[in-house]
Chains A and B, each alone.
Chain A
Amino acid sequence: DQQVKQNSPSLSVQEGRISILNCDYTNSMFDYFLWYKKYPAEGPTFLISISSIKDKNEDGRFTVFLNKSAKHLSLHIVPSQPGDSAVYFCAALNQAGTALIFGKGTTLSVSS
């Protein structure tokens, strides 16, 4: 059973517009949520995280929103740039800190 789901395998956005990547989870005991970005032939790079006690965290062009009642989080990228084209993974850390569970990823394509 998949505990972290990224239901959209791909997303295409024009440069300058907003990109919204979504992630759903099933376990209400997750303590932290993270977003990673991955370019081909490279390992994932940490982007931004949010604690389960918060509902928003912002870092430059990247903002993550957490809706605990819906068990849903989203990553907003504003404005989107061609260099943002990559695979984005959502991940959740359990309360004990013993497991980091990833979604299957969403491929973002930003066209100029």
Chain B
Amino acid sequence: KAGVTQTPRYLIKTRGQQVTLSCSPISGHRSVSWYQQTPGQGLQFLFEYFSETQRNKGNFPGRFSGRQFSNSRSEMNVSTLELGDSALYLCASSLSGLLEQYFGPGTRLTVT
């Protein structure tokens, strides 16, 4: 069974731009969650999507948004990038919730 895949793996953007990251979950998994990892804050929960609906949301500004498609693939969008958005963005999938999640390798975003 293929694991969680994320594209692209690395990205460099300029402050003020917007970016879209993609995540393909494990086949059959309907829950997709996004996390931001930074050295100072560790892993922080962004949001969870289940059956194309945002089910849970962490404490991030509205510049961070996401969506999920009917095939469970998910995208995360960050608008008006700030230097502090430089981080590793991780996607995780599971059958139904936040337990037993399988993580992808992440997308390393650098904002200059």
Contacts and interface: CB of A to CB of B under 8 A. Distances in A.
16 contacts: A36-B103, A42-B105, A43-B4, A43-B106, A44-B43, A89-B42, A93-B99, A98-B56, A98-B98, A99-B56, A99-B58, A100-B33, A100-B98, A100-B101, A102-B45, A104-B42
Contacts of A91: 43
Contacts, number: 51
Interface string B66-101: 000000000000000000000000101000011111
Nearest to A104: B42
B67 to A, nearest CB: 19
Interface of B: 4, 33, 35, 41-45, 55-56, 58, 90, 92, 97-106
Contacts of B4: 43
Interface of A: 32, 34, 36, 41-46, 49, 89, 91, 93, 97-105
A101 B105 CA distance: 19
A-B pairs, 6 with minimum CB distance: A43-B103, A104-B42, A102-B43, A100-B98, A98-B56, A44-B103
